[in-house]
Each structure stands twice: as C-alpha cells, then as structure tokens.
Amino acid sequence: MVVCLQADKMVRLKWPLFQTLRGVFAVYKPPGIHWKRLRDTVETKLLKELNSLEQRVPRQQIRFLPSFTEGENGVETSLTVAQLPVLADHPRVKGPKFVGLKVGAGHRLDLRSSGVLVLGVGNGNQQLVHLHDRHLTKEYNIQGSFGTATEDFSDTGRLIERTTYDHITLERLERIIAVIQGIHQRALLTYSGIDLKSQEAYELASRGLLRPMHKSPPIITAIRCVHFSPPNFTLAIQCLHETQQYLRKVIHEIGLELKSSAVCTHVRRTRDGIFTVEDALVRTRWDLHSIQAAIQDSRSKVNATLGATVTSQGKTCPLGSKARRGGAGVQDPHQWGRMHTVHGF
C-alpha cells in the first residue's frame, strides 16, 4: 500500500550545460569519411556523454509492507513502514534521458575531400540556414598534377590520357589563373544584382562585400598559385556556390589551357565563411566539453555575421537588401576553359 511520495534530495542534470550545446561549431573532416557518418559520430558521442552525466536520484516513496510474526493466536500480520525507490525512475526502466540531438551540417564535403565542416546543434540548425543565405565565401587548397587526365578529374579515376608538361612554367600558369579570375569577377558583379555604374557597387567591391543575391553558378572570387614544382602544383581558391567536383574540373581545364592535362590530387577546405582550420575540432576533440567550448567561442562571430549591415548612399540596410538589377550580361564562368585561351605564352 502506497501512502505518499516523498521528494528526496535530487542531483539534477545541469540544464545550463545542455543549453550551451545550442549553436554552431566546426570540425575537421578527414578524407575518406562521408559527412553523414561524421555527423552521426559526433551526435552519438554527445548523446553518450550527456547520458553519462550525473542525474537525479530516483524518487523515494513510503510504503506499508506486511510482516508476519508468530503470536499467541498464531500468525499475526502487521504493517511496517518502508522507504523504497520509485522503480519508474530507475535508469534501466526509463532508459536514457537523451535519445536524439538535432545535429545538422552546413556546406558539405564529398568523400575524398577534407577540411572545415560546420555543424549545428539545436537552434544552431537555423543559424546554418541564415549563414547559408549570407553567401559567404569559402577557401580551398587544391593540389594538382600535370601530365595525366582521368574521367572524373581526380588522380584515382580511370586514366584516359597522358601528356607532356615540360613546357609549363609558373608564368604560363599564372596567366591562365589571371584569365579565370577576370571572368569570374565579371560574373560576380552580374549575379550580385548591383548596378555596375553605381557608387554602391564600387563601395561593396572595394570592401569585398559583393555577394550573389540568389543561387548562382560557382564563382571564383580569388585564385593564386601557392606551390609550383612540376608536375605538382597547389592553388589557393576562394569561391562561392562551388562543389568539390567543380574545383577538380577547374584543375582539368587549366591543364587543357596549358596544352597539357592535369588531375586533382586533393581538395582541402581551409575556411568556410567565418570558420577557419584553426576553429575546426580534430577527431580526438569531438567530445562534449570541446564542442561546448567551440560553440561558445563562435557565438559572438556568428551573431556579428548574421547582424552585419552595410551602408550605401547614407542608408543602413541588411547586406544586399537594396541591390538592383543592372549591368551587361556576362558569360557563364563554367565556360571559361572553352571560350578563352591566352595566346603568346
């Protein structure tokens, strides 16, 4: 017979600790692991550590338990007061407290790529959407190798051609790079929806704030060669709306423009918007404490980015909200390799 429930002392789960998990953070994705598997691994580790935290002890209840004793009139029954735990509160009965976390991924990386991958937990998923709508640039280090061509533009694809590359010099490579950047800069002006003759276009361009208003083809905003030792070379590329396969194709097209061939040997993202390699957690740090600290450290940067405004002609407005359609048409930057050839190198 149950008489009452007694609210005994409890060791409650530290809810402020759980609240600090709401936000975005960056991890370092190694090559050869799918982004979904990485996300699931992070979520599993967080759930395991959250459920291992000290939680409240089971509630206690007062029960009158029958007891039997031998008396003059035979067996006598009496009630004994006992304090027992509520079995419904036992961990083996109620199961783990946390069974799922809403972990989302930002700009994804394919299986063969590595680098910065931004994840969101809780309302951090909504922040990922807002960051995506800001059309922030990303940076990559792309490694290539001259002399071969494959079906998928990577060094692991099926070989379709071998070519010479002794005639390729750094000067010739940089000329091709300059053509690429010029074409994509014109594309950026057009897709940003800004009147090319306006003061607004000048101010945004000088501050590096030009962004496409909507979804656009991949646009390279900056490209340079950071290592050249034929047949190997490395490009640092800053871009928008790209895929890793598109960047591999850029390497292939550069090889063709240089009267040779080239394959991409590795794609590594070094920055995704406001997150850099220094912000990204390596695999040994995918734990509750490190992720909480990373979310806290990024909170001010995320809030500043999502609240960013630009001033145009004396008026303050959200980034890109006063953009106007204008300017001449521009060719698709996808077509640069087939439409432009630099002669005389």
- Tell me if 292 sits within 8 A of 50, measured CB to CB: no
Q: Which residue of the set 8, 40, 89, 110 is catalytic?
A: 110
Pair of tokens at residue 272: 């995704």
What is the C-alpha to C-alpha distance for residues 124 and 122, in angstroms, rounded to an integer? Answer: 5
Q: Which amino acid is at 183?
A: I
Q: Are strands 262-272 and 114-121 parallel, antiparallel or unpaired?
A: parallel
Instruction: In whole angstroms, give the CA distance from residue 20 to residue 26.
Output: 15
Yes or no: say if 201 and 310 are a contact pair by the CB < 8 Å rule.
Answer: no
Beta bridge partners of 315: 312
3-state secondary structure the chain: CEEEEECCCCCCCCHHHHHCCCEEEEEEECCCCCHHHHHHHHHHHHHHHHHHCCCCCCCEEEEEEEEEEEECCEEEEEEEEEEEECHHHCHHHHCCCCCCCCEEECCCCCCCCEEEEEEEECCHHHHHHHHHHCCCCEEEEEEEEECEEECCCECCCCEEEECCCCCCCHHHHHHHHHHHHHHHHHHHHHHCCCCCCCHHHHHHHHCCCCCCCCCCCCEEEEEEEEEEECCEEEEEEEEECCCHHHHHHHHHHHHHHCCCCEEEEEEEEEEECCEEHHHCECHHHCCHHHHHHHHHHHHHHHHHHHCCEEEECCEEEECCCCCCCCCCCCCCHHHHHHHCCCCCC
Q: Is residue 110 annotated as part of the catalytic site, yes or no?
A: yes
Backbone angles phi, psi at 253, to 5 degrees: -65, -35
Q: Which residues are catalytic?
A: 110
